[in-house]
Amino acid sequence: MSLFAIGLIGLVICFLLIFLRMPIYIAFCLVGLVGIAVVRGWNPALVTLGTVPYTTASMYVWSVVPLFVFMGFLALHSGLAQEFFAGIRKWIGHFPGGLALSVIVGNAGFGACSGDPVSSAVTFSAMCLPEMRKYGYSDKLTLGAVGAGSILSGLIPPSLLFIVFGAITETSIGQLFIGGIFPGFILALLYIATISIMCWRDPAIGPPCPKSTWKERWMAGTGMWALIGVFAVIIGGIFIGLFTPTEAGAAGAFIVLVLALLRKRLSWDDFKNVLKETGITTGMVGMLLIGTMVLNVFLVITRIPATIASFIGGVTDSTSGTLWVIVAVLFVLGCFIDSLALTLIMVPILFPITSQMGVHPVHFGIVFTIASVAGALTPPFGIVVYAISGVAKDVPLFDIFKGVMPFLACIVGLLALVIYFPSLSLYLPQLMI
């Protein structure tokens, strides 16, 4: 049997185990172990299992993960997200659909602290739904905006997916963060345009709120200005070469912690919860990374990425065509697989293909991330939609899926822009010091 056939069978078994509800990190390790044993023998396979997990866990590049996760949960538990939303509301709430627009801007701002769409979706659903109902907003618009807005956390730095992509492909995480700024803001603008058009066509779904005075606007939650400050420190620091991403994560977490303590917004119990949730997320991500690295050894031995690369190269030789094929594959897989798992499974396979075609790693990283986070909104898996449904129990799941559909069109539009205009993702990284 050829190496490729063994690799392919291994991948099929891996997917089978995953869909039979085996924890993904275990499925990766198990298939990696047995696969290496089949190709090279049991001794090298066992040595791999004894060395790769420790080597992976001790890679400095991953230190950025717990720091940003810690910062995100600190911001969440100290009420910064809520304050940011309240502040933005005072600025733009009086426009038609203003509260929905505030959800989008609030998510963009919260995305600067949390790289996790699910946290954003849960936070904003619980926070916004009662208030937006009070002002007569339709649930479909509210929850559609919440779901779509949460995706911004995956794009606006610091995004967990960028960190993972950068570490797996040895692409600069700082460049990915900076490269994600334009696409993230363009997506926010597309969402805003969509909400405005929807409310223009049917004003009843998003009536304007009472106008705040200028004094009220400027006095709007200190949390709003704090989040803007944290974003400036993280992104500004990376952009001008003051910080590495790890240092930016540490500085951001430190600032948020100090702010929370000074403003007495973090009790000891809150802090323990922050640590617990940071641990759960870090443990989940860390073990997935370990599993991926073990599986990767097997994939590389069987030359799976190289063979698939030459196959796709045979289908189309245009760069944009290849990217669209990849996007289509990710959209389909994203309907069933979480975006983080998708990144870990597919990046090692797809990255060599695009590298071979001369696609800039940052450009590919951003296209990949946009396409993989979109799956969080699509049926049947749509993890963000399920997370929202867990909070808004009285709204049918189908209505939430319907609510996010117009925003999915925005994501496809953004993908087209980023694929055909690589400078949208490459211009800022090229200016980095």
Residues that bind another protein (CB under 8 A): 17-26, 29-30, 33, 46-47, 49-51, 53-54, 57-60, 62-63, 66-67, 70, 116, 118, 242-243, 246-247, 249-251, 253-254, 257, 272, 275-276, 278-284, 286-290, 336-338, 340-341, 380-381, 383, 386
CA 424 to chain CA centroid, Å, is 18
- Nearest approach in angstroms of CB 394 to another protein is 19
DSSP one-letter code for 395:
S
CA 232 to chain CA centroid, Å, is 20
CB nearer to another protein: pick between 120 and 138? 120
Burial class (CB in 10 A: 0-12, 13-18, 19+), 145: buried
- Nearest approach in angstroms of CB 269 to another protein is 12
CB nearer to another protein: pick between 289 and 371? 289
CB nearer to another protein: pick between 295 and 353? 295
DSSP one-letter code for 205:
G
- Nearest approach in angstroms of CB 78 to another protein is 15
- Nearest approach in angstroms of CB 412 to another protein is 23
CB nearer to another protein: pick between 17 and 329? 17
Whether 329 contacts 354, CB under 8 Å: no
- Nearest approach in angstroms of CB 199 to another protein is 32
Rg of the chain in Å (alpha carbons): 22
Whether 344 contacts 167, CB under 8 Å: no
CB nearer to another protein: pick between 211 and 272? 272
CB nearer to another protein: pick between 206 and 286? 286
- Nearest approach in angstroms of CB 116 to another protein is 6
- Nearest approach in angstroms of CB 80 to another protein is 17
SS3 114: coil
CB nearer to another protein: pick between 384 and 419? 384
CB nearer to another protein: pick between 280 and 431? 280
- Nearest approach in angstroms of CB 101 to another protein is 27
User: Which one, of 406, 395, 426, 370, lies nearest residue 126 by Cα?
Assistant: 395
Rounded distance, CA 169 to CA 368, Å? 12
Rounded distance, CA 73 to CA 327, Å? 31
Diameter over CA atoms, the chain: 75
Report the 10 Å Cβ neighbour count for 243. 20
Rounded distance, CA 162 to CA 177, Å? 7
Rounded distance, CA 201 to CA 163, Å? 40
